Amino acid sequence: MTPLDPLSFSKNHLSRYLPCFFLLVIFQLSCSIPNLQTQQCAEAQDSVKQFYSWYLGTEPDARAKQPEVFKKYVSNAALVNEKDSRVDPFFNSDTLPTTFKIGKCEPVDDDHINVQVQLYWRYGDNRTDQKEVYADTIKNGDQWQIESVEGR
């Protein structure tokens, strides 16, 4: 029995599997989904989502006892406007929605972004209503805060 030449063995395998490897790499690169959203948009959307999750999932009396949460996610201007209206300033409605979803992001500049919030109401007779509001967010230090909320 003759010993195998290690170079001929590896060259043989290399020439056989190299095209497969390149095809696999090209396939992987072509199937990746690019993230077209800026880092600022992602951060602002995340901050708005965290606030709305807390706000919708917390009773009004409990919210009043947690001012630090408001200070983290909501600017002072929005807090002043909240006390002036009987309509909820974050939903622009007199009834609370059942759920919400964060939608598109519209950058104004690096420190100012509008975030779409889609609001949904479900009723007992299998009806649903949808409305959207836009949270105008600003960057305050390292935290995105809601400055105002408006319907369009």
In a domain, 124, yes or no: yes
What pLDDT score does 89 carry?
Answer: 86
Angle at 125 between CA 122 and CA 129, to 5 degrees: 35
Long-range contacts made by residues 72-81, C-beta under 8 angstroms, separation at least 24? 72/143, 72/145, 73/47, 73/48, 73/143, 73/145, 73/146, 74/145, 74/146, 75/138, 75/140, 75/145, 75/146, 75/147, 77/147, 77/148, 78/145, 78/146, 78/147, 78/148, 78/149, 81/148
In a domain, 19, yes or no: no
Contact 27, 75 (CB under 8 A): no
In a domain, 20, yes or no: no
Question: For the chain, how many structural domains are there in total?
Answer: 1
In a domain, 6, yes or no: no
Picking from 43, 150, 27, the residue whose alpha carbon sits closest to that of residue 105 is 43
What's the pTM?
A: 0.72
The enclosing domain of 137 has a CATH number of 3.10.450.50
CB atoms within 10 A of CB 87: 11
For residue 139, give the 3-state DSSP assignment.
strand
pLDDT in tens, 45-78: 999 999 999 999 999 889 889 989 989 999 876 6
pLDDT by residue, tens only, the chain of 152 residues: 555 555 555 566 666 776 767 777 776 766 666 656 788 999 999 999 999 999 999 998 898 899 899 899 998 766 555 555 678 889 988 889 999 999 999 999 989 999 999 999 998 888 899 999 999 999 999 999 999 999 87
In a domain, 26, yes or no: no
In a domain, 24, yes or no: no
In a domain, 5, yes or no: no
Alpha helices (H) in 1-152, listed in sequence order: 6-31, 39-56, 60-64, 67-73, 76-82
Q: What is the DSSP letter of 88?
A: B
Range of the domain at 104: 39-151
In a domain, 130, yes or no: yes
